[in-house]
Amino acid sequence: MERFRNPACWSALCLAALLAAGCRNARQIRDAEYLDVVQQTARAAELATPAAASLPPVLQDLSGPQPVEMLVDYALLQNPEIHAARKRVDALGNRVPQAASLADPTVEAMGFPFYPAVPQTAAGRTTAKLAAAQQVPWPGKLGTRAQAAEAETDMARADLAAKELEVVDRVKRAYYELYFLQQAIRITEEDRRLMEEMAEIAQVRYRTGVVGQEDVLRAQVEVSNLANELIQLRQQETSTRARLAQVLHVSPDTPIQTLKQLPAEQVPHDLERLYEQAVTARPELHAQLAAIRRDRHAVELARLAYLPDFRFSVDWAEMSTAGALAPSADGIDDVGLGMMFNVPIYRKRLDAGVREAEAQTVASARQYDALRDRTVEEVKDLYAQAVAQYEMARLLRDDIIPKAEQTLEVSRSAYQVGNIDFLQLIDSWRQLLRFQIAYQRTDSQLRQTLAMLERVLGGEVPAAAAPAPPEDVPMPPPLPPEKPSPTPPGPKGAGEGGRPN
């Protein structure tokens, strides 16, 4: 029983009781947190369940023919990926004041209620203590951290610009693909009507005994084949419209249509200017430059780690003469000031941190060089594609298609008088159909290539005349605006029909 009269024993027992209660309380807190997390997860799952009200709406104002510029503006306002990139910029921007701020000061309060287990000094018995401390890094560390955070924000801003260019590119490529499919459907429908007329001619000649029934059957097979191609084209049109609607963040059932006729495209001829614009304005390159700045600030921070951080404190202790053991106790309160700092003596660790930051900076610089080289290569590749597509479209429209129309006209007249058979007529018709579709495909690919070039350049392609050809080839005239071909009777009325490449 003697040991239970000892104050130290009582203190130990009280401490054990408090620890046991604390363990129970901690277990209860953990259980409560677990239940709270489970409930929050269930609520999040319910909110994440797709419902009709959460689906993108079907917008009637997008129905009917729309210019690509209007759809681009709509996508820049509504696309959720752009919204997410903007919020990332906001989030990283709010890191800058956090990085530039001091850590929160600490305040410590302590009482000594278990007499006589209290500290004693010559001034008397201590009843309570109060201490406040503030961590202060070496001058320059906070500013460098803030600059590194600002560089991270600049990276996010450049990523936002790159995401906007990506969305514009996706809208334009889907739009021009939809434009091609709508033109291909129109051409195929016109050619089907032409083939139906040829089938009627073959039917008349078969009834008069001039040709055999195989001509009628071949014509009917071609009509059915065009009907099959129309089914495929309409399926591709629906899929492309859904892909465009996804970028616009609207329902895939929105009846988006392109203009019936698009203005002619031109290809710039100043390749060096394109190189300069791409290297200067491409957002991905700006993001990589910001990464280099961030890594340089990381090198500064690693070098500043050789310098100590400080911890300043002020202490106050309440003193009392009541119960004081010292006969000279005066009860005057204690006040103290303190300073503590770390001693950076582990040089290997600090040296390794500097080398790591320097290596990361060099890696970021080399990544910039690689991206710059890839950018120049993409500009050259897309430029070459655009020049070739421009020349092929001009050749198809101005030379090949008119001659194919004349060939079909001559073949149709020759078939009516019996100078050629129906297979030769069908071959002329198929060639015209193939060339008409090839022209629409090439024109669409030219527009898509220019859209991809805009993304690499970081902005619009500078307006210019057609590209300069080799010195021994005369300069071709610029593409005039396309005109819808009339539908006169005869082979020329076949229009522009056919199958996609």
pLDDT tens digits, 147-162: 999 999 999 999 999 9
Q: Residue 420: which pLDDT band, with cuts at 50, 70 and 90?
A: confident
How far from the centroid of its chain's Cα atoms is residue 71's Cα?
A: 17
- Cβ–Cβ contacts within 10 Å for residue 171, how many? 23
Is the pLDDT at 46 greater than 60, yes or no?
A: no
Q: Tell me: the pLDDT tens digits for 252-311?
A: 888 889 999 998 888 888 899 999 999 999 999 999 999 999 999 999 999 999 999 999
Closest among 341, 343, 345, 344 to 133, alpha carbons compared: 341
Is the pLDDT at 475 greater than 80, yes or no?
A: no
Task: Report strand pairing: 334-341 vs 64-66.
Answer: unpaired
For the chain, how far is it from start to end, CA to CA, in angstroms? 102
Q: Tell me: the pLDDT tens digits for 373-393?
A: 999 999 999 999 999 999 999
State the pLDDT at residue 373. 96
Strands in 118-220 per DSSP E: 120-121, 124-136
Q: Is the peptide bond before 65 cis (omega within 30 degrees of 0)?
A: no
Q: Which of 7-16, 69-78, 80-89 bottoms out in mean pLDDT, i.e. has the lowest?
A: 7-16
Which residues contact residue 291 at a Cβ distance below 8 angstroms, ignoring those fewer than 6 apart? 151, 155, 364, 367, 368
State the pLDDT at residue 36. 54
Q: Which of 132-146, 198-212, 429-443 bottoms out in mean pLDDT, i.e. has the lowest?
A: 198-212
Domain architecture of the chain: domains with CATH: 56-101+155-303+377-494 (1.20.1600.10)
Q: Between 134 and 116, whose confidence is greater?
A: 134
**71, 250 contact by CB (below 8 A):** no
Amino acid residing at 286: H
C-alpha separations of 237 from 75, 170, 491, 499 in Å: 20, 16, 27, 13
> What residues does 316 pair with on adjacent strands?
130, 335
Is the pLDDT at 3 greater than 60, yes or no?
A: no
Q: Tell me: the pLDDT tens digits for 308-331?
A: 999 999 999 988 888 778 787 787
Q: How many CA atoms lie within 13 A of 71 on its CB side?
A: 32
d(CA 74, CA 479): 29
Closest among 441, 413, 408 to 427, alpha carbons compared: 408
State the pLDDT at residue 194. 83
For residues 87-107, average pLDDT: 94
Q: Please give the backbone phi and psi of residue 266, each rounded to the nearest 5 degrees, phi first.
A: -120, 155
For residues 181-197, average pLDDT: 89
SS3 257: strand
Q: Which of 17-21, 229-233, 280-284, 297-301 bottoms out in mean pLDDT, i.e. has the lowest?
A: 17-21
Q: Tell me: the pLDDT tens digits for 425-453?
A: 888 888 889 999 999 999 999 999 999 99
Is the pLDDT at 183 greater than 50, yes or no?
A: yes
Share of the chain above pLDDT 90, in %: 54
pTM: 0.74
- When the pLDDT of each residue in the chain is averaged and rounded to a whole number, the result is 81
State the pLDDT at residue 59. 54
State the pLDDT at residue 57. 58
State the pLDDT at residue 38. 40
